[in-house]
Amino acid sequence: MKFTRRTILRGAMAAGALSALPRLSFAATSLEMGTARIDTLSDGNLVLPLGFVTDNPDAKPILERYGITGDAVEPPCNVTLYRDGTNTVLFDVGSGNDFMPTAGKLTEAMDALGVAPEDVTHVVFTHGHPDHLWGVLDDFDEPFFHNAQHMMGKTEFDYWIDPATLDSIDDGRKTFAAGALRRLETLQDQIATFGDGEEILPGIMAQMTPGHTPGHMSYQVKNGNAQAFIIGDAIVNHYLAFAAPGMAAGSDQDPDLGAKTRTALLDQLASEKMPIVGFHLPEGGLGHVERDGDAYRYVPEV
């Protein structure tokens, strides 16, 4: 499917979401990790055409099993907050006010936990898509988390900061590229980059999980004997991505690489049995992966 801004908005209209009331569940789930804590914060939800999941007709029985029968989906957006007593880390920052009216609710979620923007010491990005990056600037185009060190994988940063990406990316994502370029140019003197396998902060290890974007990063977080895996959009939904991980996903910029990454990551997570936090997974995004025959299933921690 070829995506355009009109296509996205048509999917939103199909779900009636542009006129819907905002969702009010801001702080969704939490996980105690030794002396540290993870909270997931709702940035609201997206409204997308079904093609962002798949155009493959073989997916229909799986989608129907999960009650997905219309032309649009409404994935939640879960920003991860990690606090270890020294560092207060946000993994991604949501959409801000410029992407969709159903998203951009992170400020309310932080208020619900009593966390102010100036309390954040580090902002760590999984990738440069709007629902993960665009909330980084305020209404005056100043860094919203003005005391924080901002961090992004070098491959991902180099891709979005390159003006040539605007010419090479597909038409439906040109707005994504322009928005990322503007924000990263503003942050350029405040952002640190890193590579695959680096420990970017104490107990936080980066793992390259490309395909959704060229340099998408996930993060393994450890504190004492406790650990969790922050997957961003490497696994982008709780139904098709688990039941048919090898099937191409419409939201991946490189669908073949995305499917390869997703399959390997699910095998790793099912074997290691560690909690995961997914940006677009339900019930706040905190759960774990179980094997289900030749496929997998997502089990929320509720």
pLDDT digits (tens, 9 = 90+) for 97-142: 999 999 999 999 999 999 999 999 999 999 999 999 999 999 999 9
- Per-residue pLDDT, averaged over 248-255, amounts to 96
Q: Please list, in sequence order, all residues whose beta carbon lies within 8 angstroms of the beta carbon of residue 233, skipping any fewer than 6 positions away.
A: 126, 127, 129, 132, 212, 213, 216, 251, 279, 280
CATH class, range 5-300: alpha beta
Domain boundary assignment for the chain: 5-300
pLDDT digits (tens, 9 = 90+) for 71-83: 999 999 999 999 9
pTM: 0.91
pLDDT at 74: 95
Q: Which residues pair with 111 in a beta bridge?
A: none
CA distance 210 to 183: 21
pLDDT at 29: 87
Q: Which residues pair with 151 in a beta bridge?
A: 124, 192
pLDDT digits (tens, 9 = 90+) for 253-275: 999 999 999 999 999 999 999 99
- Per-residue pLDDT, averaged over 156-170, amounts to 97
pLDDT at 5: 32
CA distances from 59 to 7, 255, 281 (A): 20, 15, 18
- Residue, of 15 and 160, whose pLDDT is higher: 160
> Is pLDDT above 50 for 87?
yes
User: CA 222: distance to chain centroid?
Assistant: 20
> Is pLDDT above 90 for 58?
yes
Helix (H, G, I), strand (E, B) or coil at 41: strand
For 248, the token pair is 């191409």
- Per-residue pLDDT, averaged over 155-163, amounts to 98
